[in-house]
Chains A and B, each alone.
Chain A
Amino acid sequence: MQLSSRDAAAALAEIDQARTAMRRAIRTHRGHYYLWIWGVTWIAMSLTAYFLGDSAARYFALICVPGVLASVAVGRFQRRQVAIPGSPRVLGVIGALLVFGALFPFVLHGPSDSRAYFAYSCLICMQAYVVIGLWTDTYLLWLGLVVAGLIMIGFFLPPGIFWLWMAVCAGGPLVLTGFYVRHFWH
């Protein structure tokens, strides 16, 4: 079989294109749904506390339930199209982040109030984004860093605007990044 260098270059370009498209499709395969689900969940939690007061934080677990159910549903749907065995290393890292994240408050006698607790929980999530971003897609790294920075700014702003700030500057970027991923990565 004979091939000119021009045809060989074209074939290699085709290969590169197909490989990049497939890897990108798999990495972001409905990743935007998770960003939307949790962005909307964070916004719902923040606005609930903004309108009903700090004591409404007791409903946060309840507000998370639809988010967890939706995430499970998306995960199941995803597995019907791409069968990827979970990497034990990645699962281990995420598990370690969550377990240590849950232990820190006991050692440090916990976040002092619902605002501190919410900011802390969001920071733990963004820590996971940064770690996964370092491992896989850089957009998660930047999203994690930017949102973590915004959470810290919000935490030191006057308490009256904290929840509104968290809705707009923590939940909002997740939702917007979901649109970015869907629009530019598919």
Chain B
Amino acid sequence: MPELDEIIHQPARLRIMAALTSLGPHEQVDFGFLKDKLALTDGNLGAHLRALEDAGYIAVEKTFVARRPKTFVAASKPGRKAFAVHVAALQSILGKK
């Protein structure tokens, strides 16, 4: 039976992972774009991204676009896998799988 993931299950991180795993495998979103779409503050989003990055669930790329610093975020392969397992665990609680 699939296990729930405590790192992912925190509400803000659940939404972050849901949003990031809905992107294609090579797609990345800007920090500001993600912050707007999830209605989180800079500090809140930053802290949750650090937790997810520490767990290896997301990849954070700091780069320059038109000479301005940009932070792009994407779900990593292990992150996608862990999220899929978490979703399967939620579905199994509901008896869907």
Contacts and interface: CB of A to CB of B under 8 A. Distances in A.
Nearest to A25: B37
Given A15-B15, A15-B18, A80-B66, 14 more contacts: A1-B6, A3-B4, A3-B9, A4-B93, A18-B14, A18-B18, A18-B19, A20-B22, A22-B19, A26-B29, A79-B65, A81-B29, A81-B32, A82-B27
B24 interface: yes
A85 B24 CA distance: 9
A26 B93 CA distance: 31
Contacts of B18: 14-19, 22
B33 A19 contact: no
A83 interface: yes
Greatest chain B CB density within 10 A among A1, A18, A23 is at: A18
Given A19-B18, A25-B37, A12 B90 contact: yes
B7 to A, nearest CB: 11
Contacts of A14: 11, 14-15, 18
A152 interface: no
Contacts of A15: 14-15, 18, 87, 90
B30 A82 contact: yes
B70 interface: yes
Interface in B71-97: 72, 87, 90-91, 93-95
Interface of A: 1, 3-5, 8-9, 11-12, 14-23, 25-26, 76, 79-85
B11 A12 contact: no
Contacts, number: 88
A79 B70 CA distance: 11
Nearest to B19: A22
Contact of A23 (B15, B22, B28, B68): B22
Contacts of B70: 80
Nearest to B34: A22
Given A14-B11, A82-B30, A22 B90 contact: no
A81 B32 CA distance: 7
Given A19-B21, A21-B37, A25-B37, A83 B27 contact: yes
B47 interface: no
Contacts of A76: 66
Contact of B90 (A11, A19, A83): A11
Contact of B37 (A1, A11, A22): A22
Nearest to A3: B93
Nearest to B93: A8
Given A19-B19, A80-B70, A83-B72, A8 B24 contact: no
Interface string B52-73: 0000000000000110101010
